[in-house]
């Protein structure tokens, strides 16, 4: 009998060690659904990859052994665009054929990436059938819940969020059924925020969702997208120089839009920019460009947006701000009653449906979530610039969405500035001092939900994993606040070397190197130094040229 009991105990011990451990905390934890942004790969009907963005376009040659005619094609395309630009636009202020030329050269590269006139996918394009089926099968098991994995909802991110909400509802219903839980948690990132908002607007009243986290979402508006679609441009020579430095940083670190400068190219670019700034040549040049742009953007912007398919991708329209929406619609589709407005009536109806139900009254939308008993939080990154050629390019951002937009209302100083001492003193007097960041750039107290908002400095939009501890702590809690999740720390800073987030302090809150680039008010001494440095660089290049050392390989 004793031997039998011993054997049973041994078997029990083995199962206890090998079986998934489900603690009391695990029993409280709910299944988590993840809605990503535009990361799902898209495919043609035959299963080949779809060039939905520039990442799938090669400017190199063909296969080994094939004649490389890419250089000739690029030259031909440039000539085709420059002809109407110079001969018609510059000479006669007629930009119609210039816009048409841009469309004709770009459109073949993005043939199926856009949607049709009703906002539907063309020619059977979409996400992988295998990935879609795998995601659906995943929702019908408890495996991901038991092993603390997320349920990933797969969808075609070009379409209207409302095209997916019914399937997302079924996805969540299946998870609840499979796990035996009554609710799920959801976090959405980037343009995935628009799908989450549409889902909650339609199904939030059912009580299936407990906690949601909006992670760097564009659904509160994205300055880059909004101003680009509406054609609102500004030029700032100081921001341009910083942006070049940001491109170099992103190229080196492999995040976002980046281009790694060689040592020689870096010397050429930055010494030239410094010289131009000191003699005010950059402002004069950009001023001329801005005047020119005002005349041609009506042809340029619609041509690019239609050729690349962005004009018809409804989910990107959800990122256009309310104050820019009418200007954007008029620029991209023409005035009401125009030929394009009539052609794309079905698409525009989907754009306006989302606007009517969500983006026209974002505060009312979030208020309604609270009334439904849904706990929600926000995360935002900053320390990067938006595109330097749009209005509001000087807002603190993660390179794609501004901190103010991602947090829905936080106050932040412009790039290169800090909040004034008077402002900070006034906020402290009102008991809001804990919401001021250590670098004196951000006041989180004006955000919609400051108690459940976390901000990460020097983190690009591409950075997610180091933020996951905070995200999961909030989702797995019961409406957890900053105080309970991260010991009162709502401001953190990204440690690039260690790949972790650390609490922000007065000692570690410095800007990234490219943010320190920028002109100061010119003096005789600074202008002379810039001139000398520029001449040294110029004659260095001449010397390399005569010695046969200067070629494209030296620059890139």
Convert the pLDDT of each residue in 99-111 to its tens digit.
777 777 777 878 8
Structurally, the chain folds into a number of domains equal to 2
Q: Does 129 lie in the same domain as 214? A: yes
At 464, list the tokens: 């997610």
Report the alpha-carbon distance of residue 259 to residue 256 in Å, rounded.
10
Q: Does 445 lie in the same domain as 528? A: no
Question: Is residue 507 assigned to a domain?
Answer: yes
- For residue 246, pLDDT over 50 is answered with yes
Question: How far does Cα 122 stand from its chain's mean position?
Answer: 25
Residue of 297 and 65 predicted with greater confidence: 297
Residue of 268 and 284 predicted with greater confidence: 268
pLDDT at 243: 83
At 418, list the tokens: 């800090």
Residue of 481 and 510 predicted with greater confidence: 510
Measured in degrees and rounded to the nearest 5, phi and psi for residue 222 equal -125, 120
Report the alpha-carbon distance of residue 342 to residue 301 in Å, rounded.
20
**28 contacts 110 by C-beta, under 8 angstroms:** no
* Segment (H or E) for 105: helix 96-106
pLDDT at 555: 47
At 58, the pLDDT band (50, 70, 90 cuts) reads: very low
**415 contacts 342 by C-beta, under 8 angstroms:** no
Q: Out of 43-47, 137-141, 358-362, which region has the weakest mean confidence (pLDDT)? A: 43-47
Report the alpha-carbon distance of residue 315 to residue 502 in Å, rounded.
33
What residue ranges in 326-479 does DSSP mark as E strands? 375-382, 411-412, 442-443, 453-457
- For residue 285, pLDDT over 60 is answered with no
Measured in degrees and rounded to the nearest 5, phi and psi for residue 415 equal -55, 130
Q: For residue 374, which of 217, 181, 203, 178 has the smallest C-alpha distance?
A: 203
- For residue 307, pLDDT over 70 is answered with yes
Question: Is residue 134 assigned to a domain?
Answer: yes
- For residue 35, pLDDT over 90 is answered with yes
Question: Is residue 486 assigned to a domain?
Answer: yes
Q: Which residues contact 323 (CB under 8 A, 6 or more apart)?
A: none
Q: Does 549 lie in the same domain as 413? A: no
Q: Does 526 lie in the same domain as 438? A: no
Report the alpha-carbon distance of residue 476 to residue 150 in Å, rounded.
12
Q: Does 543 lie in the same domain as 409? A: no
Q: Does 527 lie in the same domain as 484? A: no
Question: Is residue 303 assigned to a domain?
Answer: no
pLDDT at 491: 95
pLDDT at 25: 46
At 181, the pLDDT band (50, 70, 90 cuts) reads: very high
Q: Does 544 lie in the same domain as 439? A: no
At 259, the pLDDT band (50, 70, 90 cuts) reads: low
* Segment (H or E) for 260: none
- For residue 483, pLDDT over 70 is answered with yes
Measured between its terminal Cα atoms, the distance across the chain in Å is: 79
Q: Could you tell me whether strands 209-215 and 184-189 are parallel, antiparallel, or unpaired per DSSP bridges?
A: parallel
Report the alpha-carbon distance of residue 256 to residue 250 in Å, rounded.
6
Q: Out of 188-202, 257-271, 489-503, 510-524, which region has the weakest mean confidence (pLDDT)? A: 257-271
396-418 pLDDT tens trace: 999 999 999 999 999 999 998 99
pLDDT at 394: 87
Most confident among 35-39, 350-354, 394-398 (mean pLDDT): 350-354
Q: What is the mean pLDDT of the chain?
A: 81
pLDDT at 31: 96
- For residue 205, pLDDT over 80 is answered with yes
Report the alpha-carbon distance of residue 389 to residue 289 in Å, rounded.
11
pLDDT at 488: 76
Q: Calculate mean pLDDT across residues 532-554.
A: 57
pLDDT at 191: 94
Q: Out of 9-23, 144-158, 393-407, 448-462, which region has the weakest mean confidence (pLDDT)? A: 9-23
3-state secondary structure 10-44: HHHHHHHHHCCCCCHHHHHCCCEEEECCCCCCEEC
Q: Does 392 lie in the same domain as 541? A: no
Tell me the torsion sign for CA atoms 419, 425, 426, 432: positive
Q: Out of 1-15, 131-145, 155-169, which region has the weakest mean confidence (pLDDT)? A: 1-15
Question: Is residue 65 assigned to a domain?
Answer: no
pLDDT at 55: 44
Question: Is residue 105 assigned to a domain?
Answer: no
509-531 pLDDT tens trace: 999 988 887 655 566 666 666 66
Which domain range does residue 211 map to? 32-42+123-222+359-514
- For residue 65, pLDDT over 50 is answered with no
Report the alpha-carbon distance of residue 223 to residue 319 in Å, rounded.
8
Report the alpha-carbon distance of residue 156 to residue 238 in Å, rounded.
38
Give strand pairing partners of 152.
Answer: 34
Residue of 107 and 65 predicted with greater confidence: 107
Question: Is residue 199 assigned to a domain?
Answer: yes
Q: Does 535 lie in the same domain as 502? A: no
Q: Does 535 lie in the same domain as 488? A: no
| Backbone Cα Rg of the chain | 27
Q: Does 204 lie in the same domain as 138? A: yes
pLDDT at 330: 95
- For residue 295, pLDDT over 80 is answered with no
If DSSP codes are grouped into helix, strand and coil, which group holds residue 445?
A: helix
Report the alpha-carbon distance of residue 405 to residue 395 in Å, rounded.
10
Q: For residue 404, which of 382, 388, 384 has the smallest C-alpha distance?
A: 382
Report the alpha-carbon distance of residue 376 to residue 449 in Å, rounded.
8
Question: How far does Cα 318 stand from its chain's mean position?
Answer: 13
Q: For residue 408, which of 348, 470, 321 has the smallest C-alpha distance?
A: 321
Question: Is residue 391 assigned to a domain?
Answer: yes
Q: Does 469 lie in the same domain as 403? A: yes
Q: Which residues contact 129 (CB under 8 A, 6 or more apart)?
A: none
Percentage of the chain surpassing pLDDT 70? Answer: 71
At 172, list the tokens: 């969540």
Q: Calculate mean pLDDT across residues 489-497.
A: 92
Question: Tokens 């983190």 appear where?
Answer: 459
């Amino acid at each position: 009998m004793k031997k039998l009991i011993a054997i049973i105990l041994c078997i029990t011990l083995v199962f206890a060690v090998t079986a998934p451990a489900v603690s009391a905390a695990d029993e409280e934890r709910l299944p988590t659904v993840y809605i990503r942004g535009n990361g799902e790969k898209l495919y043609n009907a035959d299963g080949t990859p779809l060039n939905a963005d520039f990442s799938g376009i090669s400017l190199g040659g063909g296969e080994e052994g094939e004649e490389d005619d890419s250089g000739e094609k690029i030259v031909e395309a440039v000539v085709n665009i420059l002809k109407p630009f110079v001969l018609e636009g510059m000479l006669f202020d007629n930009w119609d054929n210039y816009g048409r030329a841009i469309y004709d050269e770009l459109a073949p590269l993005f043939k199926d990436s856009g949607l049709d006139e009703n906002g539907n996918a063309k020619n059977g394009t979409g996400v992988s059938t295998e990935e879609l089926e795998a995601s659906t099968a995943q929702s019908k098991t408890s495996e991901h819940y038991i092993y603390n994995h997320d349920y990933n909802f797969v969808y075609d991110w070009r379409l209207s969020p409302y095209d997916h909400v019914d399937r997302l509802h079924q996805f969540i219903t299946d998870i609840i059924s499979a796990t035996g839980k009554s609710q799920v948690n959801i976090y959405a990132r980037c343009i995935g925020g628009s799908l989450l908002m549409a889902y909650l607007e339609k199904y939030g009243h059912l009580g299936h969702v407990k906690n949601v986290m909006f992670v760097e979402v564009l659904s509160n508006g994205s300055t880059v997208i909004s101003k680009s679609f509406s054609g609102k441009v500004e030029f700032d020579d100081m921001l341009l120089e910083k942006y070049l430095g940001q491109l170099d940083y992103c190229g080196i670190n492999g995040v976002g839009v980046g281009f790694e400068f060689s040592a020689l190219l870096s010397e050429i670019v930055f010494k030239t920019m410094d010289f131009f700034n000191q003699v005010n040549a950059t402002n004069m040049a950009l001023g001329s460009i801005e005047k020119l742009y005002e005349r041609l953007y009506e042809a340029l912007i619609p041509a690019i947006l239609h050729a690349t398919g962005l004009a018809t991708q409804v989910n990107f329209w959800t990122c256009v701000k309310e104050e820019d929406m009418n200007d954007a619609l008029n620029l991209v589709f023409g005035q009401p009653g125009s030929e394009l407005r009539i052609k794309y009536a079905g698409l525009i109806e989907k754009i306006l449906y989302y606007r009517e139900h969500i983006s026209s009254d974002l505060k009312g939308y979030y208020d309604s979530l609270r009334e439904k008993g849904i706990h929600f939080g926000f995360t935002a990154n900053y320390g990067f610039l938006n595109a330097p050629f749009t209005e509001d390019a000087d807002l603190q951002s993660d390179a794609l969405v501004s901190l103010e937009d991602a947090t829905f209302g936080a106050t932040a100083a412009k790039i290169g500035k800090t909040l004034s001492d008077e402002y900070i003193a006034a906020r402290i007097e009102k008991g809001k001092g804990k919401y001021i960041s250590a670098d004196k750039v951000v006041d989180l107290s004006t955000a919609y939900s400051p108690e459940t908002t976390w901000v990460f400095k020097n983190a690009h939009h591409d950075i997610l994993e180091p933020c996951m501890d905070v995200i999961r702590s909030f989702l797995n809690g019961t409406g957890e606040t900053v105080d309970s999740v991260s010991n009162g720390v709502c401001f953190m800073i990204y440690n690039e070397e260690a790949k972790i987030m650390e609490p922000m302090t007065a000692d570690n809150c410095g800007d990234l190197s490219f943010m320190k680039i920028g002109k100061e008010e010119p003096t005789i001494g600074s202008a002379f130094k810039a001139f000398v440095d520029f001449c040294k660089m110029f004659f260095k290049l001449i010397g390399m040229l005569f010695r046969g050392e200067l070629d494209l390989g030296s620059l890139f």
